[in-house]
Structure formats: structure tokens, C-alpha cells
A and B are shown apart, each in its own frame.
Chain A
Amino acid sequence: MHTLSKLRELFPDGSNGEFGFPNDLNIIVERGRGAHVWDANGRRYVDCSLAFGAVLLGHADEDVNSAVVRAAAAGDNFGLVSTEMLLLAERLVSIIPCAEKVRFCTSGTEAMMYSIRLARAATGRPLIVKFEGAYHGATDIGCASLVPDPTSNAPAVTRLDRGGSPGLEAELLVAPFNDKVFIELLMAERGDEVAAIVVEPLHRCIPPAPGFLETLRALCDHHSTVLIFDEVVTGFRLALGGAQEYFGVTPDLAGYGKALGNGYPIGAVVGKSELMDLLGENRLGRDDYVWSVSTGGGCTIAAGAANIAIRRYSEAGFHSRLFAVSDELRTLIDDRFGSIGVDAQVLGVGPLLQIVLSSHPIRNSRDMAHPLAAAEQQLMIEAVRGGVLVNPLGTKIYLSAAHSDDDIEFVADTIADAWTSTGLGARTSKLHG
């Protein structure tokens, strides 16, 4: 395969950054439509990665495409506010509980970077609290402590690589998700130095324990700390107003990306005016001015895509249908694994699912580091071999509005087959034994 050899020659790791496939599974994509992706050999996959969650309506959605074609005819990028961008800002403010103002950028990484910068500038405090295992983009803080350090009993600041800046260890506090006592003690001790608590309200696929997000809200209120929700994954997916609507807790700032543009790169920081106003250019030159600038942020084709996507997300029954299909997949996986006798559970909420090969309660990322965690990645790799496209590193399953009953049946069967036909079952039962 000429293109495949080019891929390996021209891209470090034969990938563009997050595939984590064994070399024989690197695919060249030819096209996507709805819930399916075809590779250059014409092989069809049921797509449960959806471009890492960037697509929620399905690939090549016709409504989105016509909006894009229309927007492109009027030009894409102006450097100033366009009517399309303004319309999107109005939509976001009307549907997202915490949103009073909006700033656009091109990615979730940028949105989270701005949010954290805003919190530090607004409070004049240096410390950020994040939860162990949470991913908030490719910045120093965003990817710190992504993998729990097995040598330490408590969460600690760890780095994925040596490319970051000093100061991280001194300015980042790491807490276990869903541990109310831990975060209360931490905030009692350091709260007045903490600029922000940043959290994925659905922590990867682990739901917040009842009252946990409320605790974070109360602690932030008490210490005048900024509560930031990373809604890059959950935005529009759990509910029209994101996780903050779904879980009923309103943060001060939130970052968006992924599904916002249904396949078109756009990110947004939204939040309370008193914080967002620090971005205003009328403050240029002042000590509390927070600088943000983006060549591609809020470009009209992405804003146009987002506008039409949000209109679709707003349709009556959109989320209930999405959740019904997703819950059906949960049931199917439970059934298949039940009849094989696999000790497993399916984490997640709505169209976000994750198979965990453990029956122990999963409250945080430390609980995810159980003996069969590596087998979960292997299971996803085998699922790709079987025709279900998933991200083997994240092991998260994304569903879209385009997945049909046939699709999810195929996904459940493929995953069950992956378990039995690869000997994974035999190998792991030894481990269990």
C-alpha cells in the first residue's frame, strides 16, 4: 500500500497524534457518512470514535454541509465579528446556563487554556486544582496527571513529557474525582490561594457522585474560586446546555470544542461577564488584561456549521433518541458479556460509553487502574480489527444521532466476538483466577 508506507514515512508514529494503533491497524480514510467511515480499501467501519467526538450528528450531515457551502460563498474569515458568528454567540448564551459572554477560538485546547488564564487573572491567585486522570487539552495543565502514578498513594502532579514549563508542580493541585472529603480538606487548607477548580463534569466516562459537583460549586463560592467546567466532550452531547444542564450545577466558566461545529474546528470559552470582560480589548495595557487572539476562531463556515448543528441538537426528542440508542447499546453489551460470563461494566452517560473489565465500583481514575485495564485497550484494538472504529488509547465509545439499531447491534457483536475470538477471554480468565 503506497499511501500507508507514505503515512509511516512522513508522520511520526504513522499517525497524527492520538491513534495508538499497532502499525498493521493504521488505516487511510477515504470518506465518512453518517455513522460509517470507509478506508482506502473500501472497508466500512461503524464509527464509534466520530473523530474523537467531533461529530455528533454523523459524518457529512447534509444540513450542516449545505450551511457550510452557503457560508463559504460569503467568505470564511474576516478578523472581525460576522453576522454568522454573532448569531452563534446569541445561541450559546441562550442555551448554556453559565454563558453570559462568549469568545471563540479553534480548539478545545485553546478554550481550556483561556479559561484557566482568565481564572488566574481574575483572582490574582496562582493555584489550579484538577482531578487526576482528567484531560483538558494539550497544555501543561491540561495533560498533567493524566495517568495516575501507581507509586504514590495520593494523586500527584505528573507530566506526560519533559516539554512543559517549570512552575507546574508548584501551581497545580491534583485531587481524586468524586472524593468529597479530599477536596474539602484541600480547599480548607489552600482554598484562598486557588484560582480555579477545573473539572470534566463527566470525568472521562465516570459520572459525578450525587452531590459532588454541588460540593465543588459550594467550595468555589466559599473561597471565591472560579469553577471551570471542561465541556469539550460533554457540551451538546449530554444535553443541549451540556453537562451543566444535565447535572444541574452551573460553573463560572466553561470551555467547548468538539461537537460544537459537528466536524468543523471551532472552540469557545463562555461564562460570567465579570470574568469574560477581562478579555476585552478596552483593557489592553492593563495588568489584568487577558490576551486572546485567534486567526481561525469563529470563522464563518465553522460558525455556520455550529449554528445549524445546534438547531438540530435543539429539536424536540434529539437527546432522548440519542440516549435511547445509547442505552440500547449498554443493554446489548451487558447481555453479550453476561452470556459469555465476562466480569464487566459499561460506564458513561448517554452517547458516551466505556467498557470496564471490572465489577468494582469506579469512582475515579485510580479505580480505572485495575489489573485488566490493558486488556480494555486490547479489546478496543480487536474491535477495530472487527470493523468498529474506536480510539484504543481512550477506549471511549462515542455514539451519534446517525447510529442505527443495526449499527449498535454490530458494535455489540463485534466487541463480544473480539473478546471470544482473540483469546482475550482465555488470557484474562487466568488473570482473574
Chain B
Amino acid sequence: MMGGSITPEPFTRSRAHDDLIHTASTLIPGGTTTSAIPVPGLEFIIDRGEGAYVFDVDGRRFADFFMGSGPLVLGHANVRIRTAIERAASAGTTHQGLHRRTVELAARIVDLVPCAEQVRFCTSGTEATLHALRVARVHTGRRKILKFDGAYHGHHDLAVWSIGGDSNSLPSPTPESAGVQHGVAEDILVAPFNDTEFFRTIMDAYSEDVAAVICEPLQRAIPPAPGFLEVVREVCDRSGSVLIFDEIVTGFRLSPGGAQQRYGVTPDLATVGKAIAAGVPYAAILGKKQLMDHFDHRRARECLSFHCGTFSGYYLGAECAHETLDILVNEGGIDRLNELGELARDAARSCFRDLKKDVQVCGDGSLFEVYFTNQKVCNQADIRRSDQVYAKAFHRKLIEAGIYKSSVKAYLSLAHSQAEIDAYTDACKWAVKTLANR
């Protein structure tokens, strides 16, 4: 396995598999429905997942570094999560009124997460950031939202701006989707991540207007520069803007209290999702009581922030979250994840150093990404300046080599081990060599 001399089996599909791909593209626009975009020519339909691996319908195995885009922090089909699902299913999965275990989960979260004084659960990260942003507007009576270029906060109208698109127009946003309500764009400001000066300037200019600054404390795979989050916190305090940490990715993954605990900066509101329930849809809005209180439906209309959702009280999600927190927090899971992340980043660095390929290996905790550039990567503009054409070709090769990973970032889970990290670096070596021989 070690040594980088692998030659993967050619990527092939059975006739039946081709038919399924065809059916998928006939019934589902783009042949995808969730968060991964199939690579043309290398599409595959998933039959099952097990630990750190997924298997397509032909039985071809992929080491999974996508992990459902983050939620599968314990790996696929974790046996304790399966038991939790079975337990919850037998009591009915969702009800009007909260389950005892859901209330206990809220107490647990409030104990763990620095900013959390109260909790509201919802179904998806998208719902969570939508409600958090609306609370900030209600609280401040202001409308503008500042986000960072390249950050992803779901796909409601306030979120679909300046993610992958160009950054020439900052602080004006670039739309990522058609069909968004007009007028929303006027409320969005975009700043480069990790650029303290830009942030201060833009916040000075709009200090009376910004309801919320929303940020991924670890933006995609880019860690905050020392002092950056502190400046964001201090400027928000000064301008009276609500600071929201979107911890959908980092919550319960980077540390028991999420990125806010790891980086030592406490926001006013935070959103969590993904890892919280190890794969089943579940999310939450957390924050200071004076903000969360706006959700109280008995409040006068001027200070009410409407929140509603059929599956918000999803008991099965709570049951899975308890099990996940047992493993991640009480049994040292997060420490192991962080250790795996260090191993993976070290392995990637040494692999590309051996290959004499200029890369930046970024990430924190159990998240990492390799950017093809010799320049330091601090924000989305740096990613755009990296060799994205090469990255695209490289990721095609990874799939051929049996590594399932998006080009945004790699996720590790507790089902991963040195063996999968080795498989990843072996695949990297093969990909780089194959691309060099084209």
C-alpha cells in the first residue's frame, strides 16, 4: 500500500449502473440532489456506506473524504447511531411538543457551547442561519448583513452570495443563484476573510446599518489569522452588530464548544448542524438569551422573530445527537479527530513535498484541503488565484483512484485511520504523476 506505486483499476460501470445514472439524470436535475456535484464521466450511484467507505452499485469501493459533506463525523452506518435511530423510531420520531431527551440535549449544548444560553432546534443549517440572521435584524432594527467572500451559509436568499464567484466587486455581493428576491442584494456586504483592515473600513462606513456579521470561524478549510476573530468581535461590539458564528461545519467537531471555544472568541449567536447528529438532518440556533428571546411568539410584533418548522422538534435527531456527543465529547472522539487531522495534513505535506509540487495544505481539526499554489492561502481570493484547473483535473484522478472527495475540503471521521490517509496520499501521488504524463 505504501510507497505510491498504486495503479487503480480503470473506472468502469456495468450496464445496469449506466442505466441508473441515466435514470438519475432523467428524474433529478443534474443527477444530484444533495451537496456533491457528480463529475462528468465519473458519476456513480451509491449502494451503501460503511465506516470510512462508500460502495457504488457495482461494488466499487471509495475511501470517503466527503462524508455526506460533513455530518458523518462517526463514519457511515455507525452502530451506536443505528441503535439510537432504532430507539427513537420505536417512540415515534417527531411530535408536537418536545421530547424529554430533546430538552436534555438543549441543557447539554448550553453546558458545552460558550455563547449558548438558549436553544431552538430546526431541520437544516439553511433554516438555522436564516433564523439567526432574522433575529439579528429584529434585535438591531437594522437590515444589512456582512458576510465573508467564499463563506457558505446555506441557500436561502440571504446566503446565496459571493461563494465561488468573482471577488472584483467587494463589498458588493456576487449572486450565486437566479431567482432571488430583488432588493436582497442591497442588504448584503461582502468582505475578504482574514483582512482586518478591509473589515474595519467597511464596518466604519456602515456601522449604523449592519445588523449582523456572519462568519464561518474556520472558513471552509482556512483557519482565522491570529487576532482576526478578535477584531471582528471587537468591531461588532463597537457598532452594535450581532456576531453570528456559522458553526454548522465546526460545531462539536473542532472542540466540544466548537470553533468559538477552540479560537477563544464568543459570538452572540451560533448555528450548528451536520456533525451534531452524525448524519440525520438536525440543526440548531444557539445564543444569548436577550437575542433568543425574540423567538418568543408572545412578544410584540416589533420584537418578534418568527420561527416555525414541522420537523424542528425532531426527537430522533436529539437521540442521535446525544449518542454523538457521548462519543465526541465524553469519550475523547474530538481529540482523536484532531489527531487524525494532524496526521492527514502532515501526510499531505510530505507527499507533495516528495512530488515537488507546490501546494498549501490548510485546515484545522479533522478538516483539510490542499491548494495548488505556492502562495499562502488566507481567503477566497487566494483560492481563486490557485491553480483551480489543475485542482479539477486532480480531483477527477482521485475519484479514478478510489478517493471520494469534493474540491472544497476533505472531511475525516472517527472511522478513518492511517490506512485511509495512506490511501489518500497514494492516490495523490498517482494523480500527480498521471497528470504530469499527459
Q: Do A and B come from one complex?
A: yes
**Contact for B49 among A7, A29, A75, A122, CB less than 8 A:** A75
Q: Give the number of chain A interface residues (Cβ < 8 Å).
A: 123
Inter-chain contact B72/A81, CB cutoff 8 Å:
no
**Contact for A138 among B91, B158, B292, B307, CB less than 8 A:** B307
Type the 1/0 row for B120-146, where 1 means its CB is closer than 8 Å to any CB of A. 110111110011011101100101000
User: Considering the chains assembled together, what is the distance between the CA atoms of A126 and B185 in angstroms?
Assistant: 14
Inter-chain contact B118/A295, CB cutoff 8 Å:
no
Q: Which chain B residues numbered 296 to 354 have a C-beta less than 8 Å away from chain A?
A: 296-298, 301-302, 304-316
Inter-chain contact B311/A69, CB cutoff 8 Å:
no
Which stretch in A207-215, A282-290, A330-338, A370-378 binds the other chain?
Answer: A282-290
User: Considering the chains assembled together, what is the distance between the CA atoms of A120 and B187 in angstroms?
Assistant: 20
Q: Which chain A residues numbered 157 to 206 have a C-beta less than 8 Å away from chain B?
A: 160-168, 170-171
Instruction: Note all chain B residues with C-beta closer than 8 A to A102.
Output: 27-28, 33
A429 at the interface (CB under 8 A from B): no
Inter-chain contact B85/A60, CB cutoff 8 Å:
no
Q: Which residue of B lies closest to A162 (CB)?
A: B138
Instruction: Note all chain B residues with C-beta closer than 8 A to A295.
Output: 34-35, 68-71, 124-125, 273-274, 281
A54 at the interface (CB under 8 A from B): yes
A106 at the interface (CB under 8 A from B): yes
Instruction: Note all chain B residues with C-beta closer than 8 A to A140.
Output: 157, 181
Inter-chain contact A60/B137, CB cutoff 8 Å:
no
Which stretch in B6-14, B94-102, B258-266, B374-382 binds the other chain?
Answer: B94-102
Inter-chain contact A107/B127, CB cutoff 8 Å:
yes
Contact A17 B124, CB 8 Å, known A83-B20, A90-B23, A296-B280 = no
User: Considering the chains assembled together, what is the distance between the CA atoms of A170 and B183 in angstroms?
Assistant: 9
**Contact for A12 among B85, B125, B296, CB less than 8 A:** B296
Inter-chain contact A81/B178, CB cutoff 8 Å:
no
Q: Which residue of A lies closest to B102 (CB)?
A: A16
Instruction: Note all chain B residues with C-beta closer than 8 A to A389.
Output: 96-97
Inter-chain contact B33/A103, CB cutoff 8 Å:
yes
Inter-chain contact B180/A30, CB cutoff 8 Å:
no
User: Considering the chains assembled together, what is the distance between the CA atoms of A78 and B69 in angstroms?
Assistant: 8
Inter-chain contact B178/A75, CB cutoff 8 Å:
no
Which stretch in A241-249, A272-280, A310-318, A411-419 binds the other chain?
Answer: A272-280
User: Considering the chains assembled together, what is the distance between the CA atoms of A264 and B98 in angstroms?
Assistant: 16
Inter-chain contact A138/B309, CB cutoff 8 Å:
yes
Contact A138 B131, CB 8 Å, known A81-B28, A86-B27, A161-B138 = yes
Least CB distance from B352 to A in Å reads 25
A326 at the interface (CB under 8 A from B): no
Inter-chain contact A293/B35, CB cutoff 8 Å:
yes
Inter-chain contact A107/B313, CB cutoff 8 Å:
no
Inter-chain contact A30/B120, CB cutoff 8 Å:
no
Contact A264 B181, CB 8 Å, known A10-B103, A29-B315, A295-B281 = no
User: Considering the chains assembled together, what is the distance between the CA atoms of A47 and B95 in angstroms?
Assistant: 9
Instruction: Note all chain B residues with C-beta closer than 8 A to A10.
Output: 103, 106-107, 110, 118-119
Instruction: Note all chain B residues with C-beta closer than 8 A to A75.
Output: 46, 48-50, 54, 72, 76-77, 279
A37 at the interface (CB under 8 A from B): yes
Inter-chain contact B92/A108, CB cutoff 8 Å:
no
Inter-chain contact B176/A3, CB cutoff 8 Å:
no
Type the 1/0 row for A68-89, where 1 means its CB is closer than 8 Å to any CB of B. 1100111111111111011001
Instruction: Note all chain A residues with C-beta closer than 8 A to B314.
Output: 265
Q: Which chain A residues numbered 29 to 87 have a C-beta less than 8 Å away from chain B?
A: 29-33, 37, 39-40, 47, 49-55, 59-60, 64-65, 68-69, 72-83, 85-86
**Contact for A27 among B49, B97, B292, B315, CB less than 8 A:** B97
Instruction: Note all chain B residues with C-beta closer than 8 A to A167.
Output: 181-184
B38 at the interface (CB under 8 A from A): yes
**Contact for B178 among A277, A287, A294, A298, CB less than 8 A:** A287
Instruction: Note all chain B residues with C-beta closer than 8 A to A221.
Output: none
Instruction: Note all chain B residues with C-beta closer than 8 A to A298.
Output: 33-34
User: Considering the chains assembled together, what is the distance between the CA atoms of A138 and B158 in angstroms?
Assistant: 13
Inter-chain contact B100/A40, CB cutoff 8 Å:
yes
Among A26, A276, A280, A294, the most chain B Cβ lie within 10 Å of the Cβ of A294
B57 at the interface (CB under 8 A from A): yes
**Contact for A78 among B49, B89, B124, B156, CB less than 8 A:** B49
**Contact for A80 among B46, B98, B120, CB less than 8 A:** B46
User: Considering the chains assembled together, what is the distance between the CA atoms of A381 and B301 in angstroms?
Assistant: 22
User: Considering the chains assembled together, what is the distance between the CA atoms of A101 and B91 in angstroms?
Assistant: 34
B104 at the interface (CB under 8 A from A): yes
Inter-chain contact B68/A281, CB cutoff 8 Å:
no
Q: Which residue of A lies closest to B277 (CB)?
A: A296
Instruction: Note all chain A residues with C-beta closer than 8 A to B119.
Output: 10-11
Inter-chain contact A26/B97, CB cutoff 8 Å:
yes
Instruction: Note all chain B residues with C-beta closer than 8 A to A294.
Output: 33-35, 124, 126, 155
B24 at the interface (CB under 8 A from A): yes
Instruction: Note all chain A residues with C-beta closer than 8 A to B66.
Output: 78-79
B36 at the interface (CB under 8 A from A): yes
B437 at the interface (CB under 8 A from A): no
Q: Which residue of B lies closest to A282 (CB)?
A: B30
Least CB distance from B78 to A in Å reads 9
Inter-chain contact A69/B92, CB cutoff 8 Å:
no
User: Considering the chains assembled together, what is the distance between the CA atoms of A171 and B155 in angstroms?
Assistant: 20
Contact A68 B124, CB 8 Å, known A160-B301, A165-B183, A291-B176 = no
Among B44, B127, B178, the most chain A Cβ lie within 10 Å of the Cβ of B178
Inter-chain contact A74/B98, CB cutoff 8 Å:
no
Inter-chain contact A80/B32, CB cutoff 8 Å:
yes
Inter-chain contact A118/B179, CB cutoff 8 Å:
yes
Q: Which residue of A lies closest to B64 (CB)?
A: A78
**Contact for B36 among A72, A80, A106, A165, CB less than 8 A:** A80
Contact A69 B99, CB 8 Å, known A81-B24, A166-B187, A265-B281 = no
B270 at the interface (CB under 8 A from A): no
Among B49, B158, B297, the most chain A Cβ lie within 10 Å of the Cβ of B297
Contact A296 B123, CB 8 Å, known A51-B94, A75-B76, A103-B29 = yes
Type the 1/0 row for B57-73, where 1 means its CB is closer than 8 Å to any CB of A. 10000000011111110
Inter-chain contact A72/B34, CB cutoff 8 Å:
no
Contact A289 B177, CB 8 Å, known A79-B69, A165-B187, A166-B186 = yes
Instruction: Note all chain A residues with C-beta closer than 8 A to B179.
Output: 116-122, 278, 290
Inter-chain contact B134/A81, CB cutoff 8 Å:
no
Q: Apart from A37-B92, A281-B37, what 7 extra A-B contacts exist at CB < 8 Å?
A: A12-B118, A12-B294, A32-B95, A109-B309, A167-B182, A263-B92, A294-B126
28 pairs, A vs B, C-beta closer than 8 Å: A3-B103, A3-B104, A16-B312, A19-B97, A40-B100, A49-B96, A51-B95, A60-B92, A75-B54, A76-B49, A79-B34, A79-B35, A79-B69, A83-B57, A103-B28, A120-B179, A126-B181, A138-B130, A139-B156, A140-B181, A162-B301, A163-B134, A166-B184, A293-B35, A294-B126, A295-B35, A296-B123, A297-B34
Name the 7 nearest CB pairs between A and B, nearest first.
Answer: A167-B183, A75-B49, A32-B92, A163-B134, A296-B281, A59-B92, A77-B68
